[in-house]
Amino acid sequence: MQTRIILISILLITQITVRADPRNRNPVYNPGEMLRYQIYYGPLTGGEVLMTLEPSVFNGQDVLHAKGIAYTKGLADRIFRIYDVYQSFMDPLTGLPVKAIRDISEGSYTYYNEVLYDRDSNIVISQLSGEHEVPPGIMDMVSVVYKLRDTMQTTTFRPGDVLEMDTFFSDKVYPVSIRYGGSEMINTRLGRFHALKFFPVSEPGRMFKSDDDITVWFSNDRNFVPLRVRLNMLVGAVRMDLIEYEGLRYPLVNIR
């Protein structure tokens, strides 16, 4: 379960992009980009998250195929196997999804759904529940990662700024807010980085102690890559760190 929460958190955490539908004239990401993260439960390693971005075609339209995969490893995999896949097919000009897929496998539980986005009518069509009216510019759980990174290159954040966005998740509109916490220096396996820190609004009482118990750090360079996610839950702390990357548009800037 914690592995799935980590993947969802990194996606939810990045839902601070504007509601408008701007054109991505110079996106910060590259087709061919790969980001791999290690998940830690305290001192133990429990799984990985892999995020990839590739060119593709959907209904005759050129798209960017973004995929986020969360899976258990080692002892965690033997105790309770998780292999969750989230996919988004995005218009390369707007960064908005035209199709999303959610494929969940957690122990004996499985879930699969596909969602189509009709931008002209502001409707999404779920394979499981049919049509839903949605706000303009609504996004799925993967495309927001890339949309936010583009937003960071054109937006000046001040500590305490709160941004909002509507997403479509579990067949309903899911509004998310996130607060900017300022800049910070962090140490990782890949080096020492200047980072931008954000706090998504979490829900206290269920798995978290307060609404600031999820934190994400993005590289404060031209890539704005998620470097680290930390969750302080009622049952303990979980951390996810970037451990490998390929195909970034710009060199990842660290301070040795």
Q: What is the pLDDT of residues 113-163, one digit of tens each?
A: 999 999 999 999 999 999 999 999 999 989 888 888 888 888 888 998 887
Return the percentage of the chain with pLDDT > 70, whole number.
84
State the residue for tokens 């309770």: 80
137 inside domain: yes
240 inside domain: yes
Q: Quick one: which of 67, 123, 111 has its CA closest to 90?
A: 67
Range of the structural domain that residue 132 is part of: 2-246
CA diameter of the chain: 52
Q: How confident is the model at residue 52 (pLDDT cuts 50, 70, 90)?
A: very high
- Residue 43: predicted pLDDT: 76
- Residue 243: predicted pLDDT: 97
134 inside domain: yes
Q: How confident is the model at residue 84 (pLDDT cuts 50, 70, 90)?
A: very high
Q: How confident is the model at residue 238 (pLDDT cuts 50, 70, 90)?
A: confident
189 inside domain: yes
What is the number of domains present in the chain?
A: 1
By CB neighbour count within 10 A (0-12 exposed, 13-18 middle, 19+ buried), where does 122 fall?
Answer: middle
User: Is pTM, for the whole model, over 0.95?
Assistant: no
252 inside domain: no
- Residue 7: predicted pLDDT: 52
251 inside domain: no
SS3 helix, strand, coil % of the chain, rounded to 5?
A: 10, 55, 35
138 inside domain: yes
253 inside domain: no
Q: pLDDT digit string (tens) for 24-47?
A: 457 899 899 999 999 998 777 889
Q: Rounded to an integer, what is the distance from CA 88 to the centroid of its chain?
A: 11
By CB neighbour count within 10 A (0-12 exposed, 13-18 middle, 19+ buried), where does 80 fall?
Answer: middle
